[in-house]
A and B are shown apart, each in its own frame.
Chain A
């Protein structure tokens, strides 16, 4: 085989060979080459030295409360996001049904608000109790019936 050092090809084989990770047909081929090649033998020896040196570097164990801290962070993040997600899940499938109704409902609300503004006596609380309420009730009823009629007309009028 060609020398990986001289050709600068398959240098990863040398790294894997030095780490004892080279598998397959290339392993015995390279082993034979390394035995015969001074450059590759030197490379493998130096690489094994690096490998052994890296083995000496052992990190400290992970803190015992690592999981507790993590689950606390997860829990802390939950209330802010869980409710909207739940609502989305519940309401999401119904979207095609209620979406078209929204503009109509908004229009109705606007009309009702307008009507209420035009009849302030109906909105304002009576100063002298239920007797006053009874006096204005027929007027209010009449207006409301008119409004409902108007709404019906609006609903049947083609756009």
Chain B
């Protein structure tokens, strides 16, 4: 199995144990799919949540991501890191959903979420109501600042910040050059610095 992965991925790409697991899934090993699901369920769902900012939709999209991974097992070839492939599927679904949502409802949904939706549960680190409220205000500010970024910038920031991906990997996920990713990130963080300056 390892030899097979090495052959396909070539010397330039390090052996990816997730790709190895995926090749086992390809060979009919359902337990390996369970391992991959356990490993990436939360990170993929959280990435999608931060992209679409709706818990139910993020889970629906995450279900679709893993369903596509499973359905594609027979044609899977480890030509890149497994996470690159996984996040490419997730990003594709999220960007499509955002595009459709924009076409359908414009910015209405974001306004509803920020103004009318019930307050999200916040991890209660402080017994003080005031501190909880302040925390909620700050989280809302971050959420809105991220939501206001252009879709690709948002995806790049989320992968860079929360999934600690390298520029080269983000570039592969977004199908653009590494320098384009650096430029996207620089502009995105510049916008966030301005919008979140009041939190300093």
Contacts and interface: CB of A to CB of B under 8 A. Distances in A.
Contact of B41 (A15, A49, A67): A67
Contacts of A74: 67, 70
Given A56-B142, A59-B50, A12 B185 contact: yes
Contacts of A46: 193, 197, 200
A53 B161 contact: no
A6 to B, nearest CB: 15
Interface residues of B, number: 41
Contact of B161 (A11, A54, A56): A54
Interface string B79-98: 00000000000000000000
Interface string A36-78: 0000000000110111011011111111001101100110010
Contacts of A57: 50, 139, 142-143, 146
Contacts, number: 84
B71 A77 contact: yes
Contacts of B182: 11-12
Interface residues of A, number: 27
B186 A62 contact: no
A12 B193 contact: no
B76 interface: no
A53 B142 contact: yes
Contact of A62 (B41, B142, B192, B196): B41
Contact of A15 (B50, B146, B186, B197): B186
A56 B66 CA distance: 27
B63 interface: yes
Contacts of B45: 59, 62, 66
Interface of B: 34, 37, 41-42, 45-46, 49-50, 55, 58-59, 62-63, 66-67, 70-71, 120-121, 123, 135, 138-139, 141-143, 146, 161-162, 164, 167, 182, 185-186, 189, 192-193, 196-197, 199-200
6 closest A-B pairs (Cβ-Cβ)? A59-B49, A59-B46, A46-B193, A12-B182, A57-B142, A62-B45
23 contacts: A11-B182, A15-B185, A21-B164, A50-B196, A51-B161, A54-B192, A56-B139, A56-B142, A59-B46, A59-B49, A59-B55, A60-B49, A60-B55, A60-B121, A62-B41, A62-B42, A63-B59, A66-B63, A70-B63, A73-B63, A74-B67, A74-B70, A77-B67
